[in-house]
Amino acid sequence: MKKILFVSPRNPFSGRYSGDVVRANKFVNFLSRNNYVKVISPDFKNSTFKKSKISYEGFKDTNFITKIYYVFLSLIDLKPLQLGYFYSPKIHEHVKRYYKDYDLIFFQSFRTAQYKPGNIAVSNILDMGDITSNNYNQTSKRIFFFNPLRIIYFIESILLKKYEDFCFFNFQKILLFSKKEINSVKKEFKKKIIQISFGIESIKRKYKFSLKNNKIVFIGNIKYSPNKNACYEFVNKILPKILKIYPNIEFHIIGEISKIDKFFLNLRTNVKTHGKVDNLEPYLNKTICGLANLKISSGIQTKLLTYMSYGIPSVCSHQVAKNFDAIEKSKIDYYKNNEELIKIILKLKRNKNYSLLASKRSLKTIQNFKWAKILRVFDNF
């Protein structure tokens, strides 16, 4: 039995429905089957607990003034600004002090990579997930030219690219989601990379076709700017055109959302925001399709996996489709412009055979994304 130190940017046991939290929780529970796992992360409550093969220790996060100080230090060191913002001196000290007591150190997210001691002899893995610099570069190009955020995102994308190369060089193993992103990595680092997708727990076959179906669903953290932009884009440019044909169609947004975005989106005709929910099923009745209309995307969009796990027909942008490895086999509906998006939605609304075939493809594809299958990669660790 190995002793594993699992360093996470968020508490994996918080119950928060967020991709990195869910993934960390699945990783920890799977690794603890045959190993002892100590988990550390920032935690608002500074909580701790122990059970059979898992223990958790949360470290109180730094205050805003301290965060700004560390952001400044990151900028001086030409490192990503977010490393400073999420930096925890207590976690850094804990890893430095106790890493020799473990057989393996598992760093989740590049934000925790900064805690890795230099050239340590202990086995180490970085769960990078996505190549984030790509995302920030895309974002900077889509922000209004004179908006200061455009410069910030552009600078951060350069710093991230430099830091990602540093991570590829310094870690023994790197986990990435997308085969497309793996192909973009320098040849000398590819032998370190392990491809591992996000997963789903179960398949529920929720979808039923009916001409009375009237919901278009978007699931995601609306505080994340690509998701927020996608929702406003749909509400402002697509939904009004659809409502001229079917006035009863509704756009339902499910996920964390700021009060101001909730207020403004709810003002629009037939738009309903639900915030974070513990159980999706009650919100998926009478669904026409699940939407992933992001113009800024890297890696696999987990919202697509969620839709497919319920058998819901899924529609995504070409940008999202390019990063989805199973796109050619699954033939998920994707579009290249707003007119194509409207045509697909209307066809899913009207055409029973087309919709049921889309649902069938979703259920077939999602079989490859069950956690039980995906996590087998850790059997060799």
Determine how β-strand 54-59 pairs with β-strand 48-51. antiparallel
pLDDT in tens, 103-156: 999 999 999 999 999 888 899 999 998 888 888 887 888 777 778 888 888 999
pLDDT in tens, 176-207: 887 777 888 888 888 999 988 888 888 988 89
Give the pLDDT of residue 331. Answer: 65
Average pLDDT, the chain: 89
Helix/strand/coil (H/E/C) assignment for every residue in 287-340: EEEEEECCCCCCCCCHHHHHHHHCCCCEEEEHHHHHCCCCHHHHCCEEECCHHH
Please, what sign has the CA dihedral across residues 228, 234, 237, 240?
A: negative
Span 213-236, average pLDDT:
92
Q: Is the pLDDT of residue 326 over 60?
A: no
Span 39-68, average pLDDT:
90
Report the candidate in 317, 2, 265, 8 with the shortest Cα–Cα distance to residue 142. Answer: 317
Q: For the chain, what percent of residues have pLDDT higher than 70? A: 96
How far, in Å, CA of 225 to CA of 128, rounded? Answer: 20
How far, in Å, CA of 291 to CA of 253, rounded? Answer: 10
Say if residues 95 and 143 touch (Cβ distance below 8 Å): no
Span 52-58, average pLDDT:
93
pLDDT in tens, 78-96: 999 999 999 999 999 999 9
Please, what sign has the CA dihedral across residues 117, 193, 54, 278?
A: positive
Give the pLDDT of residue 329. Answer: 47
How far, in Å, CA of 117 to CA of 92, rounded? Answer: 9
pLDDT: which is higher, 22 or 53: 53
Helix/strand/coil (H/E/C) assignment for every residue in the chain: CCEEEEECCCCCCCCCCCHHHHHHHHHHHHHCCCCEEEEEEECCCCCEEEECCEEEEEECCCCHHHHHHHHHHHHHCCCCHHHHHCCCHHHHHHHHHHHHHCCEEEEECHHHHHHCCCCCCCEEEEEEECCHHHHHHHHHHHCCCCCHHHHHHHHHHHHHHHHHHHHHHHCCEEEECCHHHHHCCCHHHHHHEEECCCCECCCCCCCCCCCCCCEEEEECCCCCHHHHHHHHHHHHHHHHHHHCCCCCCEEEEECCCCHHHHHHHHCCCCEEEEECCCCCHHHCCCEEEEEECCCCCCCCCHHHHHHHHCCCCEEEEHHHHHCCCCHHHHCCEEECCHHHHHHHHHHHHHCHHHHHHHHHHHHHHHHHHEHHHHHHHHHHC
> Which of 69-78, 136-145, 265-274 has the least mean pLDDT?
136-145
Q: Is the pLDDT of residue 327 over 60?
A: no
> Which of 10-14, 118-122, 356-360 has the least mean pLDDT?
118-122
**What domains does the chain contain, in order, with CATH numbers?**
3-196 (3.40.50.2000), 215-369 (3.40.50.2000)
> Which of 133-137, 238-242, 299-303, 313-317 has the least mean pLDDT?
299-303
Give the pLDDT of residue 119. Answer: 80
> Which of the four pLDDT bands, split at 50, 70 and 90, describes residue 218?
very high
> Which of the four pLDDT bands, split at 50, 70 and 90, describes residue 328?
very low
> Which of the four pLDDT bands, split at 50, 70 and 90, describes residue 48?
confident
Is residue 360 left, alpha or beta, with left meaning phi > 0 and alpha meaning psi from -120 to 50? alpha
Span 267-281, average pLDDT:
90
pLDDT: which is higher, 331 or 92: 92
